[in-house]
Chains A and B, each alone.
Chain A
């Protein structure tokens, strides 16, 4: 069964700092990764997706993907208190089945 491992489990960064989150899949058939953000009491909302090797940037958010190691990372620069949330990584394997990691809980302190 495919597994998606996220690290760290939790992270505290100062306002204005950089947050770096990691995600690795155990399934060699994975071809697509997503990052979702879930604020407390809310449903997950898609932040970014990536399927090509390299880097993708959208505003303060940058995603990296290394397909050889099935590793993706999310970097948030100039972190804001509103970025405090649970960040979920999802990987798509066969049969369009998405598997989610357990998440990284980010807290940005002023």
Chain B
């Protein structure tokens, strides 16, 4: 079954630490996205990509880097983590090329705590 798998499910790090969140999709989708979810803000787009090697800036990119190494794999990097980055992170994939209005498939989320 097509899916989006995120790892780790939970992560605790210290302020200033390095964190890498991983996402793999088996949907054969071109587009992949990283969102953060905070109470009162819904889902906010950090970065997205429409293919291996491509990266597009989202709405809240500060403090985050991302890399799309293959069609399946999309990584989110926090190189100097701050408490403001404590959040629930979701990865998603979609393929608007197939009809132009593909739904999102979300991963199960990664809960990050920066202390």
Contact = CB atoms under 8 A, between A and B. Distances in A.
Contact of A100 (B42, B50, B94): B42
A90 B108 CA distance: 19
Best-buried of A1, A44, A90 by chain B (most CB within 10 Å): A44
Interface residues of A, number: 25
Interface residues of B, number: 24
A92 B31 CA distance: 14
B107 A43 contact: yes
Interface string A66-110: 000000000000000000000010101001111111110000000
Contact of B109 (A4, A43, A98, A103): A43
Interface of A: 1, 4, 6, 32, 34, 36, 42-46, 49, 51, 88, 90, 92, 95-103
